[in-house]
Amino acid sequence: MAVSTKNLPIQVADDSAAPGTERTLAILEVLGRHRAGLSLTEIARELALPVNTVFRIAGTLHARGYLQRREDDKRFVLTNKLFDLSRPQVREKSLVVCALESLKWLRDEAGETTQILACANHKMTVLEQCVSSQAIKVSSTVGLQVPMYSCAPGKAVLAHLPGDELEKFYSAVTLKQFTPSTLATRSALAADLAKTLKRGFATDIAEGLEGIHCVAAAILDEYRYPVAAITVMAPSFRLKKDQFEKVGRMCVEAAEAITQRLLA
């Protein structure tokens, strides 16, 4: 489930010590709300800024690769540059680069879509994926964010968190029921995380979305801290419960291979 910011107001502080920075960030945020893009006039109207100011700032962002301007309607849209800058690294190695080989291997072995996700603000963010060649398949978009507790990769990470960080998660996040299978109470989630830690992989039995099953394993750094997770996702009619153990072992093997590349 994507996180929508459509209803959150964006304000430009006129009394800021750095008004140029405020306006630049406001433009990025408003374009984040309007993924289909906005024209210069529309951005200026939305933020109550002079068109000339928007033109200057948008031009700089475009020149530096943060914005793209479509040829057909001249609207500005965000690129993936900000997301690329924030992608996690371990020992100055790109997590995604180190994971690509294992993502492809896992996709080919399981025959389903595979993804690598990392945690940010108590949500899991899709960093990269290898899409299945099946006629009916499950996939999402890079950058999509989903609640940690309702997806297998999120639960794989939660299961390996130190106790104090897990407590912070419980304090900060309100557990909601997305499907009849969602673990929306602390006791149910805690019991599932204990199982995950014991067997080495997490499962998602249509807990985030009806009709989708996932299996995942945490990617650990040298301190055994979960920096990300690798997952297999598929329609529930094809990835059935009796396959979870086999696919889970595949996920564990893929996660361990990624860890080895990160630490080599």
Pick the CATH number of 86-263 from 3.40.50.300, 1.10.10.10, 3.30.450.40, 3.10.580.20: 3.30.450.40
- The pLDDT assigned to 68 comes to 87
2 pLDDT more than 50: no
Report the C-alpha gap between 218 and 225 in whole angstroms. 9
The class of domain 19-82 in CATH terms is mainly alpha
Chain segment 219-258, per-residue pLDDT in tens: 998 889 999 999 999 999 999 999 999 999 999 999 999 9
Top pLDDT among 119 and 153 is at 153
Q: What is the mean pLDDT of residues 64-70?
A: 86
- The pLDDT assigned to 223 comes to 86
143 φψ region: left (φ > 0), alpha (ψ -120 to 50), beta (else): left
Report the C-alpha gap between 184 and 195 in whole angstroms. 17
- The pLDDT assigned to 36 comes to 82
81 pLDDT more than 70: no
What are the domain boundaries of the chain? 19-82, 86-263
H-type alpha helices, the chain = 19-33, 40-47, 51-63, 81-85, 95-110, 152-160, 163-172, 186-199, 244-263
Top pLDDT among 85 and 71 is at 71
